[in-house]
């Protein structure tokens, strides 16, 4: 699946006008506590989008409860924020996948 974060910066700037609201989904590794995962993702997000607030996170657990998916509704001010947050989340050891 190709998302906004997979599009090169110049092409993304041609497709959308910044600031832009983009949903970012992060899926946890197996058997990570939901509260811990939310706090870790929130800390990483705030480093790249300082005005992000926790109320803009939707949390869903897998049917077995082993994984958690967070959807963050983020208003990005510029394309570099999109790619920086994507890279940081993908590099985080608790994050299995970013969409």
> What is the value of pTM for the model shown?
0.86
Q: 73 near 56, Cβ under 8 Å?
A: yes
> What pLDDT, on the 0 to 100 scale, is given for residue 5?
55
Q: Where are the alpha helices (DSSP H) in 1-99?
A: 9-15, 34-48, 79-91
Give the tens place of pLDDT for each residue, 2-25.
Answer: 455 565 656 777 788 999 999 999
Give the tens place of pLDDT for each residue, 20-77.
Answer: 999 999 999 999 999 999 999 999 999 999 999 888 899 999 999 899 999 999 999 9
Residue pointed to by tokens 């999109």:
82
Q: Where are the domains of the chain?
A: 4-98
Give the tens place of pLDDT for each residue, 63-96.
Answer: 998 999 999 999 999 999 999 999 999 999 999 9
4-98: CATH number: 3.30.70
Does 32 sit behind a cis peptide bond, omega within 30 degrees of 0 on the bond before it?
Answer: no
């Amino acid at each position: 699946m190709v998302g906004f974060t997979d599009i090169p910066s110049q092409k993304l700037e041609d497709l959308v006008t910044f600031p832009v609201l983009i949903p970012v989904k992060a899926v946890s590794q197996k058997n990570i506590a939901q509260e811990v995962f939310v706090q870790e993702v929130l800390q990483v997000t705030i480093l790249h989008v300082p005005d992000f607030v926790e109320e803009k996170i939707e949390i869903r657990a897998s049917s077995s409860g082993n994984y958690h998916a967070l959807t963050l509704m983020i208003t990005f001010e510029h394309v570099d924020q999109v790619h920086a947050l994507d890279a940081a989340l993908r590099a985080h050891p608790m994050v299995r996948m970013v969409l």
